[in-house]
């Protein structure tokens, strides 16, 4: 079985959230672009390494390469439970890169809150940003918030 067929089956059968399916389909696209839509038995050390090299040639950051590699590894691990898979992919190692935490101090956030002369749209954007600073939520999560999510402080 080709890896593209297996990934499509995974997407079809999974009950997991949309983001999981999107990650699988993204790997499918990358494998196709890298011309690595191979049989599951062909994902040996060399071909798995070729996938990593392809990602690096596309100028992906190291942590993105790591994330894509981990997704591919997850797919191959799942496939190995049901099909004949070359275990050579297990020998490929990709590491994360240390990242610096970037954050604003409470004083910097307060200076942003006090900004004047902003358009109504910029004021909304500022308010979303401040909420995100204090809660750690992403913009996609902030936009889903409703009054149901608020808890009164008694």
- At 31, list the tokens: 């494998």
Closest CA to 10 of 23, 48, 98, 139: 23
Convert the pLDDT of each residue in 133-150 to its tens digit.
998 888 888 888 888 888
CA–CA separation, 70 vs 34, rounded Å?
17
Convert the pLDDT of each residue in 46-103 to its tens digit.
999 999 999 999 999 999 999 999 999 999 999 999 999 999 999 999 999 998 888 8
Q: Does the predicted model carry a pTM greater than 0.75?
A: no
Confidence of residue 15 (pLDDT cuts 50, 70, 90): confident
The whole-number average pLDDT for the span 115-137 is 92
């Amino acid at each position: 079985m080709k890896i593209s067929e297996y990934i499509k089956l995974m997407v079809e059968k999974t009950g997991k959230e949309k983001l999981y399916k999107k990650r699988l389909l993204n790997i499918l696209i990358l494998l196709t672009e890298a011309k690595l839509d191979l049989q599951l038995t062909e994902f040996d050390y060399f071909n798995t390494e070729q996938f990593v090299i392809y990602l690096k040639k596309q100028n992906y950051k190291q942590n993105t390469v790591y994330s894509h590699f981990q997704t591919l590894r997850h797919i191959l691990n799942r496939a190995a439970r049901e099909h004949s898979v070359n275990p050579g992919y297990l020998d490929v190692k990709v590491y994360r890169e240390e990242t610096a935490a970037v954050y604003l101090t409470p004083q910097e956030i307060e200076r942003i809150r006090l900004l004047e002369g902003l358009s109504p749209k910029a004021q909304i954007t500022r308010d979303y940003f401040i909420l995100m600073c204090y809660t750690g939520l992403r913009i996609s999560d902030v936009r889903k918030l409703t009054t149901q999510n608020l808890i009164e402080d008694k």
